[in-house]
Amino acid sequence: MISIWVVFWMLVVIFSIVGAFRGWVKELLVIFSVILALFLLHISGEYLGLVQPFTKVLEGVDAKAAFSVLEEATQEALRVQFWIRALIVISLAVFGYQTPNISFIKDKARREQIQDILFGAVLGAMNGYLIIGSLWAYMDSAHYLFETYISGPEAGTELGDKALSMIQNLPPNFFSSEAGLLMAVGVAFLFVLVVFI
């Protein structure tokens, strides 16, 4: 069995390679799309009540309990909350990868120099961190609902401890404060104004 921490970093490397081929401007659009997804999830949970926090679904449940031992109603609620979040993140990421065919973006996306390819790789890795990291964080909050295929990290092992410490730095946890999320949205809009206009 392979550690989820290793799989996460393998996927980040794959996203980095894709970013190097696509170019930094296109990858920047994907970053903005994922930040928008996290922002929409925060707004829909905090102010609209469309998305319930995992902590509310798991009231009175042991934090280390496996998904299979949870009550049927709790399992179903966790599935619904996970898939709402996952579909929003994946959908907006897919829309971000569907780069519009606009001439000024093509001009900015020309990658004639090695630094443009390297910058694309860095932003691609950031996309991997944002997309895969968000899905991992939601899966962790839902007590690893795919436990037949993906199990949670084991404490006390080297890779398990790395994975457990990494979970705190995943995007939904990193942007959990409203100030951090609003700052990310503001920076994204600033980049749009500076780079694309």
Closest CA to 54 of 134, 150, 143: 143
pLDDT score of 46:
83
- Spatial contact of 28 and 119, defined as CB atoms under 8 Å apart: no
Q: How far apart are CA 139 and CA 122, in angstroms?
A: 25
pLDDT score of 91:
96
Place of tokens 């031992």: 69
Q: How far apart are CA 151 and CA 167, in angstroms?
A: 14
Q: Which amino acid is at 62?
A: D
Name the CA radius of gyration of the chain, rounded: 18
DSSP 8-state secondary structure symbol assigned to residue 71: -
- Spatial contact of 39 and 181, defined as CB atoms under 8 Å apart: yes
pLDDT score of 59:
84
pLDDT score of 174:
79
Q: Which amino acid is at 153?
A: P
pLDDT score of 54:
84
Q: Output the 3-class SS for 100-158.
A: CCCHHHHHHCCCCCHHHHHHHHHHHHHHHHHHHHHHHHHHHHCCCCCCCCCCCCCCCCH
Per-residue pLDDT of the chain (197 residues; tens, 9 = 90+): 688 999 999 999 999 999 999 888 889 889 999 999 999 998 888 888 888 888 888 888 877 778 888 888 888 999 999 999 999 999 999 999 986 655 555 555 554 588 888 999 999 999 999 999 999 999 998 988 888 888 888 888 888 889 889 998 898 887 777 787 888 888 888 877 776 66
pLDDT score of 67:
83
pLDDT score of 132:
96
